[in-house]
Structure 1
Amino acid sequence: MEIIHSIFDFTPIQRTYVTIGTFDGVHIGHQKIIEKLVAEAKANGKQSVVLTFFPHPRMVLQKDVSIELINTINERAKLLEKTGLDYLIIHPFSKEFSRLTALDFVRDILVNKLNISKLIIGYDHHFGKNREGNIEQLTEYSHLYDFKVEEIPAQDIDDVSVSSTKIRRALAGGELKTANKYLGYNFSLKGKVVNGKQLGGTIGFPTANIDVAEDYKLIPKTGVYVVKSFVENKQVYGMMNIGNRPTVDGKHQTIETHFFDFDKDLYGKELNIELIFFLRDEQKFNSVNELIIQLKKDEKTSREYIKNNL
């Protein structure tokens, strides 16, 4: 898959099959659309193209709204690469771009720049200035500019209306099993291991403190999770606490992971940690000793879950 960072840098050598969207999460609904796109493009000797945008349109058009995304743009690209796609175009979204009318978008972008042969879109897709474009207009323009349009009905996407919004809500509510089911993979957090207060090491539970650089990345509900990661090409399991450490200071949110049967120095390393099971809510204990007792229980429960389910 080749990544292009602007529509205007793309020069197709043949006609294309295209789908458009922000694709946050690249969930099972998105995957179904893209798999269909790739398969049909190959069968007809065309190039498959996903057109997506960054920043997310809401980041540009509603700056007072704090948006949290399931994937960073780099995570989204890696997930899309797995689909066998030919091209991923990540176009910079701007207010100027948002003012393109539906006709301008179809004529100037889809036809003149992408050399479109077929557009495959999800249910209820809107586009253009004020989201004025819809399936009816697309069908009308397709006859004018000689390309095909296919809309995938909602009922064909796993018989449920899977949406990025529903997945975000599930993650915010600690419903990790539901979120991972809709995603079709485990939600993950990626960041650099930074220095913490090193309390974990003094109580027998050393932790890797993860700093997620992207402020728009969704951080799930506070609490304790069973997790896994690849560290130095080895799969390791552990438990992660997302929260404010109320027993110790309760001031700043941290993301701390204790890996089982692992004692190497991880400071400065980039880790991608998959969340696989929500264990419990964050709690405040009356003493550090009570915290240690609970952490031992958490480790036992986590190991049992890993043994019986993974």
Structure 2
Amino acid sequence: MKIYTDLKDFSATNPVVTIGTFDGVHLGHKKVIKRLQDLAREVNGETVIFTFYPHPRLVLNTHDDELRLINTLEEKKKLLEAAGVDHLVIYPFTKEFSKLSYTDFVEKILVGQIGMKSLVVGYDHKFGHKRKGTYEDLKVYADKLNFKIEQLEVLNVDTIDVSSTKIRKALAEGDIQTTNKYLGHRYFIKGIVVDGKKLGHEIGFPTANVDPQESYKLVPKDGVYAVKVEVDDKRYLGMLNIGVRPTVNNQLDNRSIEVHILDFDQDIYFKNITIHFYQRIRNEQFFGSIDELTAQLAKDKKEVENLLGE
């Protein structure tokens, strides 16, 4: 997959294009990508995804500081490449760009610079200044500028419309099963292992403290999760705690991500690891003593082994 942040370098044969933020690269997005690929084969063309960075809501909505995204930009790149996309345009989203009319966007950028031959849009897609560009408007320009346009119906899973918004809500509620079902892959967090207080070592459950690096990456609801941890291309069972560790932490505003990797004793400080989420086991809770905490961690470990053991 070729990646562009400047369209002066762009080149593709008979580009078949879609537009969107593609947060999550979920099943609905994969349906769009599959249709792009089918159309590209018909015209001996290549698939193009036109996306934006930063996310438009982070730029335009001053009250949206708490927006968290399913994917970082690097994660999105890897997921789109794995889906078989030929070209990814990452266009800088600014307040100035947001004022561009949909007519200028289509004529000057999609047709003028990309050379678009076909456009595939989602069921509710609108774009351009104040989101005034609708499918009906685009059809007029398709005839005028000699490109084909197609609108796809929403993807339903168990009669529910799949969307990035619904996936974010499921993650905020700790609903990993719904999240993974809508994504079509397991939710994951990549991060670097950083120094911690090493309290886990003292009670027999050493943990890796994980820093996701990107502040806008969505971290699921506080609690304990059954996960698999990818270290140096190998996967291990793990039990993950997200929260403030109320039994051993006096700074209750200090949220952390800590994972105990089962049957693992390597030094992984300052390494990058990936955590794949399988199931939420329980809420984070306060214990009256370290012994009570240790006993519960032993139960959590057994549950992880029962859920994920080969």
Under TM normalisation by the shorter chain, which class is it? over 0.9
Query: Does 2:308 match 1:301?
Result: no
Q: In structure 1, what is the equivalent of residue 55 of structure 2?
A: 56
**1:242-261, aligned counterparts within 5 Å?**
242-249=242-249, 250-261=252-263
Counterpart amino acid of residue 296 in structure 2: Q
Q: In structure 2, what is the equivalent of residue 283 of structure 1?
A: 285
Shift of 1:10: 3.9
DSSP 3-state at the match of 2:40: helix
Counterpart amino acid of residue 292 in structure 1: T
In structure 2, list runs of 5 or more residues that go unmatched: none
Counterpart amino acid of residue 302 in structure 2: K
Native 8 Å contact 1:25 1:164 kept in 2? yes
Native 8 Å contact 1:193 1:210 kept in 2? yes
Q: In structure 2, what is the equivalent of residue 110 of structure 1?
A: 110
Query: Does 2:228 match 1:236?
Result: no
Higher mean alpha-carbon deviation, 155-164 vs 113-122, is at 155-164
Shift of 1:229: 2.2
Q: In structure 1, what is the equivalent of residue 32 of structure 2?
A: 33
Higher mean alpha-carbon deviation, 225-234 vs 167-176, is at 225-234
User: In the aligned structure 2, how far is the partner of 1:28 from the partner of 1:107?
Assistant: 30
Native 8 Å contact 2:51 2:89 kept in 1? yes
User: In the aligned structure 1, how far is the partner of 2:155 from the partner of 2:302?
Assistant: 42
**1:134-173, aligned counterparts within 5 Å?**
134-154=134-154, 160-173=160-173
Q: In structure 1, what is the equivalent of residue 71 of structure 2?
A: 71
User: In the aligned structure 2, how far is the partner of 1:298 from the partner of 1:148?
Assistant: 55
Native 8 Å contact 1:29 1:157 kept in 2? no
Distance 1:279 1:116, change over 3 A: same
Higher mean alpha-carbon deviation, 209-218 vs 37-46, is at 37-46
Distance 1:280 1:95, change over 3 A: same
Counterpart amino acid of residue 265 in structure 2: D
Report the TM-score, using the length of structure 2 for normalisation: 0.96
Which whole-Å deviations, capped at 9, do the CAs of 1:205-227 have from their partners, x for residues lacking one? 00010011111110100000011
Q: In structure 1, what is the equivalent of residue 22 of structure 2?
A: 23
Q: In structure 2, what is the equivalent of residue 45 of structure 1?
A: 44
Work out the percentage of aligned pairs sharing the same amino acid: 48
DSSP 3-state at the match of 1:19: strand
Counterpart amino acid of residue 297 in structure 1: K
DSSP 3-state at the match of 1:180: helix
**1:200-219, aligned counterparts within 5 Å?**
200-219=200-219
Native 8 Å contact 1:29 1:158 kept in 2? no
Native 8 Å contact 1:29 1:163 kept in 2? yes
Report the TM-score, using the length of structure 1 for normalisation: 0.96
DSSP 3-state at the match of 1:154: coil
DSSP 3-state at the match of 2:258: strand
DSSP 3-state at the match of 2:24: coil
In structure 1, list runs of 5 or more residues that go unmatched: none
Native 8 Å contact 1:10 1:113 kept in 2? no
Query: Does 2:161 match 1:199?
Result: no
Higher mean alpha-carbon deviation, 39-48 vs 254-263, is at 39-48
DSSP 3-state at the match of 1:36: helix
Aligned length, in residue pairs? 307
**1:81-96, aligned counterparts within 5 Å?**
81-96=81-96
- RMSD, aligned CA: 1.4
Moved over 6 A (4+): none
Counterpart amino acid of residue 284 in structure 1: F
User: In the aligned structure 1, how far is the partner of 2:217 from the partner of 2:280?
Assistant: 19
Which whole-Å deviations, capped at 9, do the CAs of 1:90-115 have from their partners, x for residues lacking one? 11100111111111011001110110
Higher mean alpha-carbon deviation, 114-123 vs 229-238, is at 229-238
Native 8 Å contact 1:10 1:114 kept in 2? no
